[in-house]
A and B are shown apart, each in its own frame.
Chain A
Amino acid sequence: MTLFEAIILTIITASTPLLIAAIGELVVERAGVLNLGVEGMMIIGAAAGIAAAITTGSSTLGVLVAVLAGMALSLVFAALVLGLAANQVAAGLALAILGLGLSGVIGAPFVGVQRAGIGKIEVPLLSDIPFIGSVLFHQDPFVYASIALVVAVWWFLTKSRAGLVLRAVGENHAAAHALGYPVRRIRLLAILFGGGCAGLAGAYMSLVLTPFWSSGMTAGRGWIALAIVVFASWLPFRAMVGAYLFGALTILQLHAQSAGVPLPSQFLAALPYLITILVLVLIMRARRGGAAGPASLGVPFVPDR
């Protein structure tokens, strides 16, 4: 395996949790809801996932519980912002804190417990092709799931009628409501999807990347996922670019240190953030005028009849 191939593989694993969480949040924001609680849903997925996996011995069950945990927390968020039309920024932050606290309580009995990580799937024959084989056909199931999610979300938003309705709800919820679409139900489904994705991303971290529980192990990746949605101008394939860009920069700076590049490690560590800003600015310049988010993003919806 060449160094290049090894780096690509590492980038894929580093970017996948970001991508899964980001694609979920992208759907939520396209429906017009800003959910800042992604970090809380991610970490509660991580805690619940490994707790279930260790207790039952089944990784599949662990993943399922993680997704459900993320959804459950997002249901609380939905109750606040849809049921009670609360301010979305504050509600999201509330859920972030709640999720962080609950994750600590759930994970506490499992600190230091060892578990085998979920292994990679090997596509027979195809995975033996040099380079492409290992990159494309020898990955863990989450990587394939993340790609599938991106494609599915793209198809849903651009090619399906339901996706069109969801986008309409995000752009102008009053008009959508006037046309008779169930705005709150659509948003509820979107929020649950986003919560499930965040939980799935959390499960990836605690069941595959580093198969053990440690307090706060998501270390802010939920916030990065939020940034990626913005970076992607709310477009699914761009989210993939954003996640992989950020993952690549993070991995490359580690490699640079290992190779002995004589720059301060803090500067190298700051590069992913600085370059993300730079690339966003370049994108905005190239598009001249830029794209704002869905017009109704963050505005509470109260049906007037």
Chain B
Amino acid sequence: MRLVMEKRTETPISLMLISPLIAVALTMISAAIMFALLGKDPGAALYTYFLDPLSDSWGLQEVAVKATPLVLIAVGLAACYRAKVWNIGAEGQFLFGAMAGGYVAIITHGSTQGPWLLPVMLLVGAMAGACFALIPALLRTRFGANEILTSLMLVYVAELLLDYLVRGPWRDPAGFNMPNSVVFEPEATLPLLMAGGRLNIGTPIMIAVVLGFMLLMGRTLKGFEIRLVGEAPRAARFAGFSEARLIITVFMISGALAGLAGVLEAAGTIKQLQPGLSPGYGFTAIIVAFLGRLNPIGCLFAGIFIAITFIGGENAQIMLRLPLDATRVLQGLLLFFVLACDSLLLYRFRLIRGAAA
């Protein structure tokens, strides 16, 4: 007697909706066990993690602020991964965009600025991210160099470049020689949307991007091309789609989105350039992309959920004295259960009697 997995021909909608809920429920159960083992009240811990971040306007705004860069990057990565192009360097593209957009703010600091400044910064950031992503793309198309390695190595290069720039040429002259750039002028920072929180225009931009990508992936030829190259490369070649051009396209798209996220963070939440600009957004976004099943609206929900776990983790440290490592374990468990439950969507499990064929 054995347990056999069979691929489903079609997935019932009910399962598609229930599966993530089951995963979340399983995560909460195992998290509750973990909290109990650590000596904390499981109910209070679960509330602190998942519900407290949503309990008031300030909390909701913070979730939006935390989720925005994650979702932006994840949407671009999802397009890449659909085409089986493994861009692991979104973190580097994020930093590069932040540097480029931040540079615009730095060189115009103290002189005339206007409403044109912010759109220019965002555009420059996105373009810079796209250009930085072009490097692993070209190395792959021209030389066949595996993009996992090249994009990953470039992350370290981008980090070191940022470090060099803020310690040297871009250092704030009035900053006691600390490694920060000048604090951006108000016109170079993102306007807030409402009082009582940090919600800024980054979030509507992110939502627009999500909607745009839903259209792109679902209804345009390009979106079809992306999916086809990933799922059936030979068919794609017969259809006349150039794999090399597509690789460059998706890399540049995801690089642009990562760069945009970078300049939005630099201009929105931090308002200057400094090392440690990113708490690993580029890597967390990979997880968000997969949790969101590589489609834009899924990325949105996954990004929001992951943002809640990060914020919940901070709250847990403050209010319950739970260590940060507990949050990491919880996030790992969440991913584990979502992946496990997703198998239910794609496969049916059956018990079969008799020996293997």
* A–B: direct contact at CB < 8 Å: yes
Residues of A near any B CB (own CB < 8 A) = 76, 80, 84-87, 89-91, 93-105, 108, 223, 226-227, 230-231, 264, 266-267, 269-270, 273-274, 276-277, 280-281, 284-285, 289-290, 292-293, 302-305
A90 touches B335 (CB 8 A): yes
B336 touches A80 (CB 8 A): yes
B161 touches A98 (CB 8 A): no
Q: What CA separation (Å) do A95 and B164 show in the bound complex?
A: 33
A277 touches B339 (CB 8 A): no
Q: What CA separation (Å) do A141 and B295 show in the bound complex?
A: 49
Contacts of A102 in B (CB 8 A): 325, 329
> Counting CB contacts under 8 A, is B320 at the interface?
no
B164 touches A267 (CB 8 A): yes
B332 touches A98 (CB 8 A): yes
Query: Size of chain B's interface in residues, with CB distance under 8 A?
Result: 51
A80-B340, A91-B339, A274-B157 in contact; A290/B143 too (CB < 8 A)?
yes
Q: What CA separation (Å) do A76 and B30 show in the bound complex?
A: 15
> Counting CB contacts under 8 A, is B60 at the interface?
no
Q: A86-B343, A101-B331 are in contact. List 15 more A-B contacts (CB 8 A).
A: A90-B290, A91-B339, A93-B335, A98-B329, A101-B329, A101-B330, A103-B325, A104-B325, A105-B326, A227-B148, A230-B146, A273-B153, A276-B149, A303-B5, A305-B356
Contacting B156 at CB < 8 Å: which of A91, A270, A280, A305?
Answer: A270
Contacting B323 at CB < 8 Å: which of A76, A108, A289?
Answer: A108
Task: Kindly supply a per-residue 1/0 record for chain B positions 314-357, scoring 1 wherever the CB is within 8 Å of any chain A CB and 0 otherwise.
Answer: 00000000011111111111011001101100110000000011
Residues of B near any A CB (own CB < 8 A) = 4-7, 81, 86, 139, 143-146, 148-150, 152-154, 156-157, 160-161, 163-164, 167-168, 283, 286-287, 290-291, 323-333, 335-336, 339-340, 342-343, 346-347, 356-357
A90-B290, A273-B154, A280-B145 in contact; A84/B343 too (CB < 8 A)?
yes
B143 touches A281 (CB 8 A): yes
Closest chain A residue, CB of each to CB of B293: A87
Leading 7 A-B pairs by shortest Cβ distance: A98-B332, A101-B328, A104-B325, A94-B335, A290-B144, A90-B290, A101-B329
Contacts of B357 in A (CB 8 A): 305
Contacts of B143 in A (CB 8 A): 281, 284-285, 290
Q: Which of A85, A100, A226, A277: most chain B CB closer than 10 A? A: A277
Contacting A90 at CB < 8 Å: which of B86, B167, B291?
Answer: B291
State how many angstroms separate the Cβ of A22 from the closest Cβ of chain B: 12
Contacts of B5 in A (CB 8 A): 85, 302-303
B152 touches A227 (CB 8 A): yes
Q: Could you give 8 example pairs across A and B, Cβ below 8 Å? A: A86-B339, A89-B290, A98-B329, A101-B329, A101-B331, A104-B323, A289-B144, A305-B357
A86-B342, A90-B290, A270-B157 in contact; A281/B145 too (CB < 8 A)?
yes
Contacts of B330 in A (CB 8 A): 101
Q: What CA separation (Å) do A80 and B157 show in the bound complex?
A: 33
B144 touches A284 (CB 8 A): yes
Contacts of A285 in B (CB 8 A): 143
State how many angstroms separate the Cβ of A93 from the closest Cβ of chain B: 5
Q: What CA separation (Å) do A280 and B6 show in the bound complex?
A: 40
